[in-house]
Structures are given as C-alpha cells and as structure tokens.
Amino acid sequence: MSLLIVHLPPHPRWHPARVQTPASEAEASVAEVDFVFSEDGQHVDERGRVAPALLPGLRRGTTQVVAVLSECALAWHHVTLPKAPAARLRQALIGLIEERLLDEPQALHFALAPDLRPGEAGWVVATDRPWLAGQLEALARAGVDVERIVPVTSPQSPPLAHFETRDESADGYAQSGFDAAGMGPAEDPPLSLSWSHADGVLQWPLVGASAHTLTPDMFDGARCTATPAASLGAEHWLGRPLAVLSTAERWLAAAQGPWNLRQFELAARHRGVASVKQAWQTWLSPAWRPVRWGIALLVALQVVGLNVQAWQAQRHLRDLRSQMTSLLRATHPQVQAVLDAPIQMARETETLRAAAGELGDADLERLLQAAAAAWPEGLGVDELRFESGHLTLQAAALGPPQGADLLTRLQSAGWRAEVRDGELQLWPGAAR
C-alpha cells in the first residue's frame, strides 16, 4: 500500500512570516503543499513541494492520503472523557474543558485519543475548526481526498525531544526576529525544540530568554532526535550525540501511528466505502504480504490439483469407453463402426432378443404381467391402451389407497409407474 503524506500549511496567525495573508484566503485555497510519498508505506521514496493536483499517487486506488499537523496547530488537554451519547459527546466535552480554552468552543475542532472510551482518562486535542475544514475542502477540490489527519507528535512516555532549525520549523520562528543568544557557535543555525512527554506537547525556540528555562539535564532518559541540519547544533547544546531523523521520516512515522483527527463534524463521509478502501489498503500493505503470498500459493496448488484430478478423470473415462467398445465388438462382431457403444449394444441385444422370440420389458405381455401381479384383487379394468412400451390401464373404481398400494408394489419391482385419477401408467424400469 502506497502512502501520501501532505503537510497542512499553518494558519496565518500561527505563522508570523505570513501575517499579511488573510485568514479567509488561507482557509479557502491551498496553492502548494509539502508532501512525502512512500511506495510501501515504510520508506520515503519522494518528497517535495507542489500544487495539490500534482501530488504523486493520487490516481492509484491503493494510495492512502494522510495529512499531518505541526505542534503549533494543536492544543492538548488531558481529561476524563464524560459518559454521554455519541451525538452529545462534543457538547459534554466542551462543558468539561471550556475554561481551559483560549478560543470560543464553536470555533474549535476536537478529537479524541485512539481507543479512548467514556469514563476513561486520556488526551483530547483541539485545533481551529474553520481553518482545518477549509484546508480539507480546498484539498478535496484539487482531487486530494484526505482519509486521516495525524499530529506530527503526541504525548508519550518516555519523552521525545526533537530538534530542528528554525528554517525547517513550521511554526514560523525563523522569521520571528528572536535573538540567537545562547545558542553556542555563531555558525550554528538557531534551533527549535519539540518536547513530547507524558504531560503534553510543547515547542520552544532555543533562543533568547526561553532557552534559559531549559537545561540539558531535563533530557536525561528521553529519546532525542534532530534533523540533519540541526544535528550539530543540538549535539553541542545537549553535550551528547543524538539520532538523526529527517522531517520526511518524522512525518512518515506519524502517519504510521494510530491517531486520526477526522472525528465529529470532520469525520470522513461514506464510511462504508471508506471502510472497504481501508480494508483493501490494509490487505495491500507490506505487513500482509506473507498472507497474500500464502493465499496465492494455496490457490495455485488448488488449480494444479484440480487439473491433475481432471486429467485422471479423463483418462479413466477414456479407459471405460475403450472397454465398452471392446465389449461391443467382442459380443457383436458384425458392428463395424462404433459411435455410441451403450446405445449400439442395447440395439443389437434387442435385435437378438426379438429374433429369438423372447419377451422384452417394453413388450405388451411383460407390462401386462407386471400390472396383473400388482393389481388390486377383484378390481376390473375399464380401458387399456398400449403405445411403444407405454401401458395405460384405466379403472374408475381405483381409489387413492388402492392406487398408492399399486404404485408401491410396481416401483419396488423395478417398474416406472404413475397413478392419477383412477389411471395407471406403466413403463419399463430404468434399471431393468
């Protein structure tokens, strides 16, 4: 299953470098988006920035489209989810965290942590609803159907510290005019820190007064990563080496997580179709490759087995036909051409029987003998008809009980018979 990850550009109010862009314009259109494309959903194959209509993999039915949101776009709230019906859960949630919100609740979109159930404690994430809905609508108009929305990082334990340069950070600190004092060597680019821990997600520019609130000792026991451009400065600031993780790899890891912010009013429509598509994408994923190969091998073995069985059946049928032909020629040497051995055998045998003056099952005498042997005692026959091995006896006094008894006797003796409305119809049995 291929995976296309698009990064939704920040809202103008979160991006100081774009304060001149009207909010309505940002919500109504998306000129270009940063993207990461993976053929197998596990490794980065392509990344760049293009117009939405030019994104790779859109015309494939097996490409899953995931949108990723940066830290600056999300606010995290740890709550005990109220027990309320699904239709009223959002309102109950608003009543629970309304005092913590900086915006009007009607202007916010909420999403629950994966598998969070009513009565359980967990995370609720909030973001600007008009902006997010506008971004999704603009992408949809460009032919990009976003199936999932994921945060680039989420609260976790043990903590995760990720460093990137301010030029790489989507929060716009690169143009915010902060002083780079306290960053170490002058040639090191100013850094931005994303800190994901059990109590939430934070982001700081490691410049000015904010940098002095952090000390390298805070990161003991934490997993630390940095983009290639920020790795030297981050190692100098931390005083120890850390793992290099590019922005594309970070987005890919986020897309592989369980989060999906398309909930409540922004839940994906056509759930049945989406479920089928999701199941198909899961089926095509690398994790299911052994199952696909196993089923393909099983089908191949079944096909081979059926072909072998059909070949054996055909050979057995040819042997039987050869035996019937040999029996016909041995029994009736006068037959020169064998077209249908069973029919020709029956015809020749019937000819010999007639020539010898013996009675056959289809003769009137044999049919009368069979009928007489089973006929009810003392019952007269009103009418008799015989046509080509078909005998009909009509008796107005033949009642249903007598007819049923007559039919049972004839059929048990191997004759074909029918009794209806005082009439017996009799033919030679198929087995005789």
The pTM for the full model equals 0.59
Confidence of residue 364 (pLDDT cuts 50, 70, 90): confident
pLDDT for 432 beyond 60: no
Q: Looking at the 3D structure of the chain, how many domains does it have?
A: 4
pLDDT for 175 beyond 50: no
Q: For residue 250, is it within any domain?
A: no
Q: Do residue 145 and residue 176 come from a single domain?
A: no
Q: Do residue 196 and residue 307 come from a single domain?
A: no
pLDDT for 248 beyond 90: yes
Of 5-14, 17-26, 245-254, 273-282, which one has max mean pLDDT? Answer: 245-254
Least confident piece of the model among 182-186, 240-244, 265-269, 323-327 = 182-186
CATH classification of the domain holding 125: 3.30.420.380
Q: Do residue 204 and residue 56 come from a single domain?
A: no
Q: Do residue 220 and residue 124 come from a single domain?
A: no
Q: Tokens 């007269």 belong to which residue? A: 380
φ and ψ at 297, to 5 degrees? -65, -40
Confidence of residue 184 (pLDDT cuts 50, 70, 90): very low
Q: What is the pLDDT of residue 14?
A: 58
Question: pLDDT digits over 305-360, tens only?
Answer: 999 999 999 999 999 988 988 888 888 888 888 888 888 888 887 777 777 767 77
Q: Do residue 354 and residue 383 come from a single domain?
A: no
For the chain, the three-class secondary structure string (H helix, E strand, C coil) is: CEEEEEECCCCHHHCHHHCCCCHHHHHHCCCCEEEEEECCCCCCCEEEEECHHHCCCCCCCCEEEEEEECHHHCEEEEEECCCCCHHHHHHHHHHHHHHHCCCCHHHEEEEECCCCCCCCEEEEEEEEHHHHHHHHHHHHHCCCCCCEEEECCCCCCCCEEEEEECCCCCCCHHHCCCCCCCCCCCCCCCEEEEEEECCEEEEEECCHHHHCCCCHHHHCCCEEEECHHHHHHHHHHHCCCCEECCHHHHHHHHHCCCCCCCCHHHCCCCHHHHHHHHHHHHHCCHHHHHHHHHHHHHHHHHHHHHHHHHHHHHHHHHHHHHHHHHHHHHHCCCCCCCCCHHHHHHHHHHHHHHHHCCCCCCCHHHHHHHHHHHCCCCCCCCEEEEECCEEEEECCCCCHHHHHHHHHHHHHCCCEEEEECCEEEEECCCCC
Q: For residue 254, is it within any domain?
A: no
Q: Do residue 98 and residue 13 come from a single domain?
A: yes
Question: pLDDT digits over 61-105, tens only?
Answer: 678 999 999 988 899 999 999 888 888 888 888 888 888 887 788
Q: What is the pLDDT of residue 189?
A: 65
Region 395-418: mean pLDDT is 89
Q: Do residue 294 and residue 145 come from a single domain?
A: no
Q: Do residue 180 and residue 313 come from a single domain?
A: no
Q: For residue 18, is it within any domain?
A: yes
Residue at which a domain ends, from 358, 380, 402: 358
Residue of 101 and 194 predicted with greater confidence? 194
Question: pLDDT digits over 127-158, tens only?
Answer: 999 999 999 999 988 889 899 999 999 999 99
Q: For residue 252, is it within any domain?
A: no
**Residue 385: how many CB atoms within 10 A of its CB?**
11
Q: What is the pLDDT of residue 19?
A: 43
β pairing state of 223-226 and 46-50: unpaired
Tell me how far apart the alpha carbons of residues 89 and 82 are, in angstroms, rounded to a whole number.
7
Residue of 168 and 369 predicted with greater confidence? 369
Q: For residue 202, is it within any domain?
A: yes
List the domain range (segments joined by +) for residue 376: 364-427
pLDDT for 171 beyond 50: no
Q: What is the pLDDT of residue 69?
A: 94
Q: For residue 67, is it within any domain?
A: yes
Q: Do residue 400 and residue 275 come from a single domain?
A: no
Q: For residue 432, is it within any domain?
A: no
pLDDT for 240 beyond 80: yes
CATH classification of the domain holding 410: 3.30.1360.100
Q: For residue 217, is it within any domain?
A: yes
Q: Do residue 32 and residue 54 come from a single domain?
A: yes
Residue at which a domain ends, from 214, 244, 274: 244
Q: Do residue 209 and residue 114 come from a single domain?
A: no
Q: Do residue 266 and residue 120 come from a single domain?
A: yes
